[in-house]
Amino acid sequence: MTQTFFVPGPLPGANDIVRKHWRVYTNLKKQWGAVVGYALMAAKIQPLALAHISFEWHEPVRQRKQRRDPDNIIFGEKFVLDAIVVCGILPDDGMDEVLSLTHTWKQVKSSQRGGVQVTLTSEK
């Protein structure tokens, strides 16, 4: 079974958190947990015991100096995985439940939606 949902963004990157007060991360986790939770409900994602998870990052086109590196972009997976667990879609985000993580990214025009398309695939 394959299920897909879209989280509008762009999600925070590592540079948005590194060297900041711990409350910055806590606040971002709450804020993005709610956004991801709403996306899960809107897409009617059903609970799974385990899954392969694919992320397709849609990054808005920016000037060269403002472009985020791929490792900075994919940091947002932490917010998505945590929300998937909190919402009861997966029992945990450990290696027993998450069989694989894959990432692809593409630049989209600023008039298009940035964010991430998440695909959950179960083995059953």
Q: Which domain holds residue 45?
A: 2-121
Has residue 87 got a pLDDT over 90? yes
- pLDDT for res 65: 63
Confidence of residue 36 (pLDDT cuts 50, 70, 90): very high
**44-55 per-position pLDDT tens digit:** 999 999 999 999
DSSP 41-77: HHTTPPP-SSEEEEEEEEEE---GGGPPPHHHHGGGH
The β-bridge relationship of strands 51-60 and 115-121 is antiparallel
The tally of domains found in the chain comes to 1
Burial of 123 (0-12, 13-18, 19+ CB in 10 A): exposed
Q: How far apart are CA 88 and CA 46, in angstroms?
A: 9
Share of the chain above pLDDT 90, in %: 61
pLDDT value for 33: 94
> Is the pLDDT higher at 124 or at 61?
61
**From CA 105, how far away is CA 90, in angstroms rounded?**
24
- What's 98's domain CATH number? 3.30.1330.70
